[in-house]
Amino acid sequence: MSDDATDDPAARFETTAEQYAVYRPEYDDLAIDPLRERFLDGTGRLLDLGCGTGRLGVALAPHVAEVVGVDPNDAMIEHARERATIVGAENTEWRVGSDADLPTMADELDPLRLTVMGRSFHWMDQDRTLDTLYDITEDGGGVALLSDTEWLARGTADWQDAVYEAVTEFLDDPPERTGPVEYEESWGDLLNEHGFDDVEEHVVEVEREWDADGVVGYLLSLSFCSPAVLGDDREAFESAVCERLSEFDEPYEEAATVDVIAGER
């Protein structure tokens, strides 16, 4: 395994940006439509915190006056700019930064209509982030946390079991294969504790189909399975995953859920 592996999430994602942009699933309209309907009317500023390659910010850009996307990785930000350019989302701005920078950006961002965090909130100092966002969110605005099934650890299909077995051959400390899990404190409770009211949760069930190239690309987009982590083992890793998948017929089907938890100031 490469000596370039690091426990710094920002650094570990640095080599995943290309795979992240191509192979991470898009957010289904059923997941983001409730946010449009509840919070957005074509005006106001939206913050996409931990924006990655800009999927959420670009998707919601037509429904606000301005989008500010923030992510700690330069490569992710470049992909977000490219995504926005392709669709003509000229009301977007992309910055390198993280939740740790949010207090220093607060005056400039104030007021916010909506903050979205897609597959990113678990990396953050959650209490500090929500306290800061509460202070700079306008009345009637809100915060929305989006996440979906990370199938390598939590999927239950036979082909996912086989892929996990291949992954364990190359990672020193792979995530435990646990299936669906419940957290002791829900993010909805956390939003309530930090002043956000009328918390609503939408769970959207989606069916996805993968081919071998998509599976490998998705794995390489994960921080703990990135090209930097695999190092010189990357080619052997890709071959091992494809060999395990060859025991099953394409497409490889995934039953996933997308959770959207939103609260209002």
Per-residue pLDDT tens over the stretch 154-187: 888 999 999 999 999 999 888 888 765 555 569 9
- At 143 the pLDDT is 98
Task: Please give the share of the chain, as a percent, with pLDDT higher than 90.
Answer: 83
Query: Is the confidence at residue 7, as pLDDT, over 80?
Result: no
Tell me the pTM. Answer: 0.90
Homologous superfamily (CATH) for 9-264: Vaccinia Virus protein VP39 (3.40.50.150)
Per-residue pLDDT tens over the stretch 86-133: 999 999 999 999 999 999 999 999 999 999 999 999 999 999 999 999
- At 181 the pLDDT is 54
Q: What integer is the mean pLDDT of 18-22?
A: 92
Task: Please give the share of the chain, as a percent, with pLDDT higher than 70.
Answer: 93
The full DSSP string for the chain is --TT--S-HHHHHGGGHHHHHHHSPPPPHHHHHHHHHHH-SS-SEEEEET-TTSHHHHHHGGGSSEEEEEES-HHHHHHHHHHHHHHT-TTEEEEE--GGGHHHHHHHH-SEEEEEEES-GGGS-HHHHHHHHHHHEEEEEEEEEEEE--HHHH--SHHHHHHHHHHHTT-SSPPP---S---SS-HHHHHHHTT-EEEEEEEEEEEEEE-HHHHHHHHHTSGGGSHHHHGGGHHHHHHHHHHHHTTSPSSEEEEEEEEEEEEE-
- At 14 the pLDDT is 72
